[in-house]
A and B are shown apart, each in its own frame.
Chain A
Amino acid sequence: AQSVTQLDSHVSVSEGTPVLLRCNYSSSYSPSLFWYVQHPNKGLQLLLKYTSAATLVKGINGFEAEFKKSETSFHLTKPSAHMSDAAEYFCVVSDPVAGKSTFGDGTTLTVKP
């Protein structure tokens, strides 16, 4: 069985300050992990993925995430928020063998000027 928990439903930051979106997962195997971003009235767009290579993963638009097996976490960070980062973010855990993907409930990021 697998599950994913996004620990914050809403995060608000000021422009230029760091962003931290938290994701914990549960898995019986070595999972693949993804972060997606969804802007209003749009589909989900891949930010980054972890598939058992380097534990620190760099994505698009300055985002990165660190896979910590001991903590079963895959938190998303960005050093300096931009207004265009305001969106919904989804953490996803996937079983690379069975192919099942489980989506978190999402975190809404608000960026204040």
Chain B
Amino acid sequence: NAGVTQTPKFRILKIGQSMTLQCTQDMNHNYMYWYRQDPGMGLKLIYYSVGAGITDKGEVPNGYNVSRSTTEDFPLRLELAAPSQTSVYFCASSRDRGSQPQHFGDGTRLSIL
């Protein structure tokens, strides 16, 4: 049982480039999330989804976009990479939103130079 899988694990981008961070889960969870983790800080919610075709903004959505065409996949897109987007990105999923724990991937470490 793979759980939540994120790719790539590491990436270096130049300012202005774009990329997509991939996330897939095999637990048939309806709820999926994208977080960023900056040094010494907790996780900040970027976007979340309550099911295929439904997404919504979190606390820090600027500069990012998401889509949810299937239950399993929830990619995060950076259109014009900026140094402020250097961070570790985590994808998570859960059976419901609030009372059930979230299952996390191992993260994507992204540097924008």
By a beta-carbon cutoff of 8 Å, the part of chain A in contact with chain B is: 9, 32, 34, 36, 41-46, 49, 51, 90, 94-106
Contacts and interface: CB of A to CB of B under 8 A. Distances in A.
B90 interface: yes
30 contacts: A32-B98, A32-B99, A41-B106, A41-B107, A42-B106, A43-B4, A43-B90, A43-B105, A43-B106, A44-B43, A44-B90, A44-B104, A45-B104, A46-B101, A46-B102, A49-B101, A51-B99, A94-B98, A95-B98, A96-B98, A96-B99, A98-B98, A99-B96, A100-B98, A103-B44, A105-B41, A105-B42, A106-B40, A106-B41, A106-B42
B98 A43 contact: no
Contacts of B106: 41-43
Contacts of B90: 43-44
Contact of A104 (B42, B45, B97, B99): B42
Contacts, number: 55
Interface of B: 4, 31, 40-45, 90, 92, 96-99, 101-107
A43 B79 CA distance: 25
Contacts of A42: 106-107
B99 A94 contact: yes
Given A34-B101, A36-B104, A45-B104, 12 more contacts: A32-B98, A42-B106, A43-B104, A43-B105, A49-B101, A90-B43, A95-B98, A96-B99, A97-B98, A99-B31, A100-B98, A105-B40
A9 B98 contact: no
A102 B58 CA distance: 11
A44 B33 CA distance: 13
Contacts of B105: 43
A9 B40 contact: yes
A51 B94 CA distance: 15
A105 B38 CA distance: 10
Q: Count chain B CB atoms within 10 A of each CB in A42, A98, A99 and give the residue with the most.
A: A99
